Amino acid sequence: MAFKIALAGNPNCGKTTLFNALTGANQFVGNWPGVTVEKKEGKLKGHKDVIIMDLPGIYSLSPYTLEEVVARNYLIGERPDAILNIVDGTNIERNLYLSTQLIELGIPVIMAINMMDVLEKSGDKIHIDKLSKKLGCEVVSISALKGTGIKEAAEKAVKLAKNKATTPVVHKFDGRVEGILNSIEDKLGNSVPREQRRFFAIKLLERDDKIASQMGKVPDVLEEIKFIEEEMDDDTESIITNERYIYISSIIESCLTKKSKGKLTVSDKIDQIVTNRWLALPIFAVIMFLVYYVSVTTVGTWATDWANDGVFGDGWSLFGLEVPGVPVIIGAGLEAIGTADWLQGLILEGIIAGVGAVLGFVPQMLILFAFLALLEACGYMARVAFIMDRIFRKFGLSGKSFIPMLIGSGCGVPGVMASRTIESDRDRKMTIMTTTFIPCGAKLPIIALIAGALFDGAWWVAPSAYFVGIMAIICSGIILKKTKMFSGDPAPFVMELPAYHMPTVTNVLRSMWERGWSFVKKAGTIILLSTIVVWFTTYFGFVDGEFRMLEDIEMDHSILAAIGSVISWLFIPLGWGDWKSAVAAITGLVAKENVVGTFGVLYGFAEVAEDGSEIWGTLAGSMSMVAAYSFLVFNLLCAPCFAAMGAIKREMNNAKWFWFAIGYQTGLAYIVSLCVYQIGMLITTGTFGIGTIVAVLSIVGFLYLLVKPYKESKILQVDMTA
Amino acid sequence: MQTLKEVSCGQTVKVKKLTGEGAVKRRIMDMGITKGVEVFVRKVAPLGDPIEVTVRGYELSLRKADAEMIEVE
C-alpha cells in the first residue's frame, strides 16, 4: 500500500522548492477537479511506495478561498498518512498560525523549518527542541534551496506515516474557550474519531457550514456559541483566530532569539527603491517594457516566426544550412509514394497546419513563462499587484491583470496563459475573459485591410481599434462584476509582500516547462480538431452536383461558403450580410490574419499581401465605410482564434465558464458592431429603422448596467461545484 | 476613534479592535492583524492606495477601505 504525505505550508515559504527537491522529475501536474487550482503530486525519491501531495500554498484552513477549501477538503476527505508542514523560519510567527490548525486535524504532523541558512546569516536562532515541545510535533530544520536536512525530514515523515501515531494537540486556548470546546467534543461523542474531535468542535464553534455539511450528525451548538460570544464580546471565528495568535505570541519569546531586530534587511533596502513613491512607476514601466520587448517584439517574434514559418512552413536555415520545414519534408514524402490529393491536403493543410497552430506558439510562450516565473520567484509579481491595484480594481480586475493585457497586445495565447499568476479566482476569470479584447499582432492585418481599403489609410483607425479594445475591457469589468456569476466572490486585497529572493534556475525552468506543457496537452486537442474541421469545410464542396475536393480559387463552392450563406443574414443588421464577410470571419477563428487571405481568395486572388492591398478596390466597392468599421469591431472583439480559445479553456478548466467566456465575447462583439453600424448609418445617411431602435435600446441598457449602483458583497463564497 | 487608514507612514500603532465581520475580517485576522498586535505603517503605493504595513515581522499590503476596519491606538 502506498503512503501519502501531504506537503502543506504558506505561500512563499519554499514549498515548491522542497517539493521539487523531494520528488525530482517524478511529478504529475494537473488540476483539482473542476477548479483552476493546480494539483501536484510526485513519488518521493528512493521510496516507490511514498507519494508526496503538494497542497496549494495557504495561510489558514478557513472556508473563504478556493485554495484553502481545496486543501482542507483533501486533508479531511482523503486523510493523508502524514503532513509535512513547511514553515518559513524568517517569518515564523504567521507561519505557525497554519501549523496550529494542521495539528488539530488528527493527522501525524512533522514540521520542517525552512530557510535555516538565511536565519543563520542574520544571526537569529530558532530553538527547535522548545518549539517541538510547545507544539507537540517533531520539528526539523532544513534549507530547501541548499538541500540541507531535507532527506532527514522526508525520512522522518515516512516513519511517522508508517507508525500512524497521531500528533497530540498541545497548544491550549483561554480557559473559557477550552471549556466550551470540551462540551462540544462531548456532544460529538463517537460520531467522530477521538483524534479528530477537537478539529470538528472548533469548526462547529466557528459556524463553518462547509464542514458541518460534510458531517453525518451535527450537534446543535448554538447555545455554546451564544455563551462564548457574549462572554468574550466577539464572534467565535475571531475569538479562535485571536486565541491562536495569543498562543503563538506566548511561545515565540522562548523559541526565537532575534538578533537582527530593527535592522533593515537587503530585501527591505531593495523594496525601498522598487516601490518608492516616485521611482515605482518608472521602474515598473522599464520592467514591463523589457518583458514585452523580449517576449513579444524581439525574441518572441523570432521564435514564433521560426516555428510557424520555418519549422511548420517553408523551411529555415541553421548556420547557413537550409533545413526544410515539416510540411515540405512530409509533402515530398507523400508525393513520392503517390498519395491521393485529398489525403495530402488533409495531412498537410489539415493536420500538420493544426499541429503547427498548437506548437507554433510554444517557443514564444516558453520565453514569456520564463519571465513570469522569474518575476514571481523573485517577489516582484506581488509588487506589480501592489502598484497597479488602484487602477484595475475599479474594473473588477487585479493589479496583476496588467501583465496578461500587455502580453495580449502581442499575442492573446500567452496573454491568457499569463493570467495564471493571479490568485483570486474571480479576478483571474475576469482577466481570462477580457484579455483577448486587446488587438493582438494577428489582428493588425485586419486593421490594415479596413483602414487601407475604406479609410484611405487614415491615421486614426489603428489607435481607435486599441481604444475599442481597452473600453471593452473596462466596461466588461464594470458590468460583469455586478453579475451573479461574479458578485458572490469579492477578493479582499490583503496580500503578503514576500521578501525578495534570488530565484533558482531549476525552479524557473521547471515552472516554464510545466505551463508550456499544460498548454500543449490541454489546449492542443481543441485547436487541432477545429483547424481540421475548418480545413475540411473550406476545401470540400459540391461542384456541378459532384462532391469533391476544391482548388483554392473554387472556395465559393465549399461547404464553408454554404454555411456562410446560411448564417450571413445574422450579420445584415451589422452591415455586412454577404456570405464572403461571414466566411472571412469564420476562417478568422483559425488565425485572425486569415481574414485578409480569405477575402483575397474569395475576390479571386490566390495570394494577397499581408494588408491585402490587391483587394482594397473590390472591398471598397462592396462595403460602406460604416459597415467596414462594424466588421472590424466585430473581428476585434468576437471569440479569438482557436489557439486562444484553447488557452481560455485550459485556464478556465471548466466547460461552463469556457462557453460563458466565448459567448460573452461574441455577444458583446455583435452588440457593439450593431450599434456602430446602425448609429453610423443614422448619422451618415439618416437611415432609421428597427435596427436603429435596437441599437439605441442597447446603448441605453449598456449605460444603465455601467452606472447601476453596486455594493461589494461582504460574503465570500467558494463554489466548488461550478 | 483612529483607524489604521488614518495612520501616517513611519508610525507604529497597536491594534485595538477589528470592526466588520465575515470573510474580510477573518482574512485580515488570519494574516496576523489581531487585537494587541503592533503594526508599523511602512508606505503607501505610488497611486495612493493600497498601503504596506509590517506586522509580526513580515510585509503585508491592504487597501485603505479594509484598513478602515482596524481601530488602532
A384 part of a folded domain = no
Residues A652, A680, single domain; the answer is yes
Which backbone phi and psi does A280 adopt, to 5 degrees? -55, -50
Of A530, A541, A546, nearest in space to A564 by CA: A541
Grid cell 534587511 — which residue? A265
A267 part of a folded domain = no
Of A92, A492, A496, Cβ closest to residue B66: A492
**For residue A492, which residues of chain B lie inside 8 Å, CB to CB?**
23-24, 27-28, 66
What letter would DSSP give residue A35? S
Residues A62, A125, single domain; the answer is yes
Q: What's the domain count of chain A?
A: 3
A287 Cα distance to chain centroid: 21
Residues A74, A209, single domain; the answer is no
Chain A closest-CA separation from residue B58 CA (Å): 6
User: pLDDT for B31-47, tens place per residue?
Assistant: 999 999 999 999 999 99
In sequence order, the β-bridge partners of residue A558 are A541
Q: What are the angstrom distances between the C-alpha of A528 and each of A354, A630, A645? A: 5, 30, 12
Question: How would residue A709 be classed by pLDDT, with cut points 50, 70 and 90?
Answer: confident
A387 part of a folded domain = no
Neighbour count for residue A583 (Cβ, 10 Å): 28
Q: Dihedral, CA atoms, A142, A148, A152, A157, nearest 10 degrees? A: 40
Is pLDDT above 50 for A328?
yes
Residues A541, A634, single domain; the answer is yes
Nearest C-alpha in A relative to B45: A387
Question: How would residue A348 be classed by pLDDT, with cut points 50, 70 and 90?
Answer: confident
**Integer Cα distance of A109 and A281 in angstroms:** 44
Chain A interface mutation, best of B61, B63, B68, B70, highest count of A Cβ atoms under 10 Å: B61
CB contact under 8 A, B46 and A64: no
Of A660, A647, A640, nearest in space to A588 by CA: A640
Rg (alpha carbons) of chain A, rounded to whole number: 30
Of B18, B32, B47, Cβ closest to residue A245: B32
* Residues of the domain holding A700: 523-707
**For residue A498, which residues of chain B lie inside 8 Å, CB to CB?**
59
Residue A89 C-alpha cell reads as 523560519
**Integer Cα distance of A253 and A230 in angstroms:** 31
Question: How would residue A490 be classed by pLDDT, with cut points 50, 70 and 90?
Answer: low
Task: Look at strands A315-318 and A321-324 and give their pairing.
Answer: antiparallel
Taking CA A577 as the corner, what is the angle to CA A679 and CA A698, rounded to the nearest 5 degrees?
A: 35
Taking CA A173 as the corner, what is the angle to CA A170 and CA A177, rounded to the nearest 5 degrees?
A: 130
Residues A199, A93, single domain; the answer is no
A217 part of a folded domain = yes
In contact, A39 and A7? CB cutoff 8 Å? no
Q: Dihedral, CA atoms, A434, A437, A438, A443, nearest 10 degrees? A: 150
Residue A548 C-alpha cell reads as 469533391
**Integer Cα distance of B8 and B67 in angstroms:** 12
Residues A158, A251, single domain; the answer is no
CATH number of the domain that A154 lies in?
Answer: 3.40.50.300
Is pLDDT above 90 for A304?
no
Task: Look at strands A256-257 and A109-114 and give their pairing.
Answer: unpaired
Nearest C-alpha in B relative to A93: B56
Q: What are the angstrom distances between the C-alpha of A406 and each of A266, A299, A374, A409? A: 30, 16, 17, 6
Residues A147, A216, single domain; the answer is no
CB contact under 8 A, A275 and B21: no
In contact, A261 and A209? CB cutoff 8 Å? no
User: pLDDT for A586-628, tens place per residue?
Assistant: 988 888 888 888 888 888 776 777 788 888 988 998 889 999 9
Q: Dihedral, CA atoms, A541, A542, A546, A550, nearest 10 degrees? A: -40
Question: How would residue A153 be classed by pLDDT, with cut points 50, 70 and 90?
Answer: very high
Contacts by residues A18-23 (CB-CB < 8 Å, ≥ 24 positions apart): A18/A86, A18/A112, A18/A114, A18/A142, A18/A144, A18/A150, A19/A52, A19/A54, A20/A506, A20/A507, A20/A510, A21/A144, A21/A147, A21/A150, A22/A52, A22/A150, A22/A154, A23/A52
Chain A closest-CA separation from residue B19 CA (Å): 10
Q: What is the pTM of this model?
A: 0.85
Question: How would residue A722 be classed by pLDDT, with cut points 50, 70 and 90?
Answer: very low
- Whether the CB of A124 is below 8 Å from some CB of chain B: the reply is no
A10 part of a folded domain = yes
Is pLDDT above 70 for A713?
no
In contact, A419 and A435? CB cutoff 8 Å? yes
Instruction: Give A519 or A1, the one with higher predicted confidence.
Output: A519
Point out the domain boundary residue: A113, A131, A163.
Answer: A163
* DSSP letter string, A461-523: HHHHHHHHHHHHHHHHHHHHTTSHHHHT-----EEE-PPP-PPPHHHHHHHHHHHHHHHHHHH
**Integer Cα distance of A305 and A319 in angstroms:** 17
Residues recorded for chain A: 722
**Integer Cα distance of A706 and A477 in angstroms:** 10
Of B24, B35, B62, Cβ closest to residue A242: B35
**Integer Cα distance of A397 and A697 in angstroms:** 28
Point out the domain boundary residue: A236, A257, A278.
Answer: A257
Point out the domain boundary residue: A233, A257, A281.
Answer: A257
User: pLDDT for A223-247, tens place per residue?
Assistant: 999 999 999 999 999 999 999 999 9
Q: Burial level of A51, CB count in 10 A (0-12/13-18/19+)?
A: buried
CATH number of the domain that A227 lies in?
Answer: 1.10.287.1770
Query: What residues contact A5, with CB distance under 8 A and at least 6 apart?
Result: A44, A50, A51, A52, A53, A80, A81, A82, A83, A84, A157, A158, A161
Residues A77, A203, single domain; the answer is no
**Integer Cα distance of A8 and A192 in angstroms:** 24
Taking CA A306 as the corner, what is the angle to CA A303 and CA A309, rounded to the nearest 5 degrees?
A: 135
A468 part of a folded domain = no
What is residue A717's predicted lDDT score, i.e. its pLDDT? 52
Is pLDDT above 50 for A721?
no
A607 part of a folded domain = yes
Residue A479 C-alpha cell reads as 458590468
Strand arrangement, sheet containing A109-114: A27-31, A38-43, A50-54, A3-9, A82-88, A109-114, A138-141
Neighbour count for residue A137 (Cβ, 10 Å): 22
Lowest-confidence segment of A90-104, A302-316, A676-690, B51-65 by average pLDDT:
A302-316
CB contact under 8 A, A390 and B66: no
Lowest-confidence segment of A75-89, A169-183, A403-417, A672-686 by average pLDDT:
A403-417
Residue type for A14, please?
A: G
Question: How would residue A327 be classed by pLDDT, with cut points 50, 70 and 90?
Answer: confident
A461 part of a folded domain = no
CB contact under 8 A, A495 and B60: yes
Domains and CATH numbers, chain B: 4-72 (2.30.30.90)
Q: How many CB pairs under 8 A join A and B?
A: 121
A residues 262-291 lying closer than 8 A (beta carbon) to B? 271, 275-278, 280-281
Taking CA A677 as the corner, what is the angle to CA A673 and CA A680, rounded to the nearest 5 degrees?
A: 130
Q: Dihedral, CA atoms, A296, A641, A600, A332, nearest 10 degrees? A: 80
Of A209, A181, A211, nearest in space to A197 by CA: A181
Residues A563, A673, single domain; the answer is yes
Residues A159, A182, single domain; the answer is no
Is pLDDT above 70 for A32?
yes
Residues A144, A188, single domain; the answer is no
Residues A10, A42, single domain; the answer is yes
**Integer Cα distance of A110 and A112 in angstroms:** 7
What is residue A559's predicted lDDT score, i.e. its pLDDT? 92
Neighbour count for residue A340 (Cβ, 10 Å): 10
**For residue B23, which residues of chain A lie inside 8 Å, CB to CB?**
62, 64, 492, 714-716
CB contact under 8 A, B30 and A241: yes
**Integer Cα distance of B62 and B7 in angstroms:** 13
Q: Which H or E element spans position A50?
A: strand A50-54
Question: How would residue A27 be classed by pLDDT, with cut points 50, 70 and 90?
Answer: confident
Of A552, A577, A579, nearest in space to A564 by CA: A579
A507 Cα distance to chain centroid: 19
B58 Cα distance to chain centroid: 13
Residue B58 C-alpha cell reads as 513580515
The residue-averaged pLDDT of A140-166 equals 92
Of A475, A417, A484, A400, nearest in space to A722 by CA: A484
**Integer Cα distance of A678 and A431 in angstroms:** 30
